[in-house]
Amino acid sequence: MKTIIKILVLAIGLTTQLYGQDFPDDFYNAEKKIIKSEVLNLEKLLFIYLPNNYYKDTTKSYPVHYLTDAPTTSNIYFDLLRLHSLANTVPQSIVVGLSSDNRNYNLYPEKGAEKYLQFIKSEVIPYIDKNYRTNLFKVIAGHSLGGDFVIYTMIKEPSLFNAYIAGSPGPIETIIRLLDTTEYKLNSTDYKFFYSSIGSDDFTDTVAFDQFREKLKAEVSKKVDCNFDINKGENHISNIVINYQKGITKLYSDWQFILPDNLNKPISEELKSHYDKLENKFGYRPEIGEWDVIFPIMDILAKRGDFKNAIDILKYCIEIHPMSDQAYAFLAKAHFDAGQMELGMKYLKKSLELNPENPFALRMKMMIENK
């Protein structure tokens, strides 16, 4: 018993030290907004991380990830999302970090979690949806007591979020009691995702975690895509990054379009089919970008010598991005490579009409004139 108490004291001490740190105001590239909460009867600080070019391209809307314990781990979480989005393996997203003051009360399911969840539901989410360009997909993530709060939220408000990422939840016995006394009621047929992990050297006992896993799966697995891991060699602190990394990549495991080695139908139909599946799963139609999706596919097809499909994907690009001078320039090059000079000149002319200074189109024009 003394050993258990010592471990719990150590756990509380380490997490309090970690989540209670002060950081300089300019340490994070985040907008800081203060909400005057009527639910909590105090002011709460939000850290809002926005995708690159958020204010330049005002046509896009984004999924939102809500994160407990900001700003301690919110910068890590946002950086993971941002780096993966550069490779188009996850969508660009907004991250909303909830400040971590009084976490031992606010996040604890048997203390202040009910009121804190009401604060998020009735004040934070409406504020973000009103002031930022959000779409329908929402994620909540947290670590340690934050992980407990994520699970509590999923059980108590199953329709509020689409995905839940709970790292090293604890004390796990609190969650087991919650599962024993609360019926999971999800009326929606929308896709729901859950991920949780602990480290093999974590404060949470692996036997207790296995018990929690089986109870949760028995309760929700028919309605929720449940995923669990015990990460070998990781402890309570090192599992923060590992858990968020795995949770994010598992959630978006099918996001990126993988070009088949052999195409049985036109590439534009393959791409449309992929994005139809994403829309069905995530509840919104992701943008099919030029530089991050279509042009890399076109480049691979051209290197394969498959000019027919390279031309097909570029025509599809023009269909959804009709003002893309670069798509017309690449389409001209594809026709030139296929020996179709007349069509190549047609699309080269169109590219330069849209943008007389397109460098790629100008180089092609110069090469043709010098022949």
Distances (CA, A) of 247 to 85, 140, 162, 192, 316: 15, 11, 13, 13, 33
Residue with tokens 């092609």: 364
Instruction: Name the residue with higher pLDDT: 142 or 338.
Output: 142
What confidence category does residue 293 fall into, taking pLDDT thresholds of 50, 70 and 90? very high
Query: What angle (nearest 5°) sits at the alpha carbon of residue 27, between those of residues 23 and 33?
Result: 80
Please check the confidence at residue 258 and state whether its pLDDT lies above 50. Answer: yes
Q: Region 306-327: what's the mean pLDDT?
A: 95
Classify burial at 250, counting beta carbons within 10 Å of its beta carbon; exposed 0-12, middle 13-18, buried 19 or more: middle
- Count how many Cα atoms sit within 13 Å of the Cα of residue 360 in the half-sphere of its side chain: 14
What confidence category does residue 190 fall into, taking pLDDT thresholds of 50, 70 and 90? confident
Q: What are phi and psi of 96, to 5 degrees?
A: -115, 110
- The two structure tokens encoding residue 351: 């590219």
Beta bridge partner(s), residue 64: 94, 138
Contact 131, 108 (CB under 8 A): no
Instruction: Name the residue with higher pLDDT: 1 or 91.
Output: 91
β-sheet with 31-37: strand ranges across = 31-37, 42-49, 94-99, 62-70, 134-143, 163-167, 193-201, 225-235
Alpha-helical segments (H) within 87-205: 103-106, 113-119, 125-131, 145-156, 172-181
CA distance 39 to 223: 31
pLDDT of residue 356: 97
- The two structure tokens encoding residue 172: 């796990």
All domains in the chain, ordered by first residue: 2-251 (3.40.50.1820), 267-370 (1.25.40.10)
pLDDT digits (tens, 9 = 90+) for 32-46: 999 999 999 999 999
pLDDT of residue 100: 74
31 CA to centre of own chain: 19
Instruction: Name the residue with higher pLDDT: 100 or 52.
Output: 52
Distances (CA, A) of 168 to 8, 22, 194, 221, 250: 14, 23, 13, 20, 17
Please tell me whether residue 156 adopts helix, strand or coil conformation.
Answer: helix
Contact 277, 285 (CB under 8 A): no
Closest by Cα among 57, 171, 65, 163 to 113: 171
Residues whose CB is less than 8 angstroms from the CB of residue 272 and which lie 6 or more positions away in sequence, other chains included: 316
pTM confidence score: 0.87
pLDDT of residue 219: 82
Closest by Cα among 159, 96, 98, 165 to 132: 96
CA distance 241 to 199: 11
Contact 170, 147 (CB under 8 A): yes
Residues whose CB is less than 8 angstroms from the CB of residue 8 and which lie 6 or more positions away in sequence, other chains included: 171, 203
Q: Region 9-37: what's the mean pLDDT?
A: 57
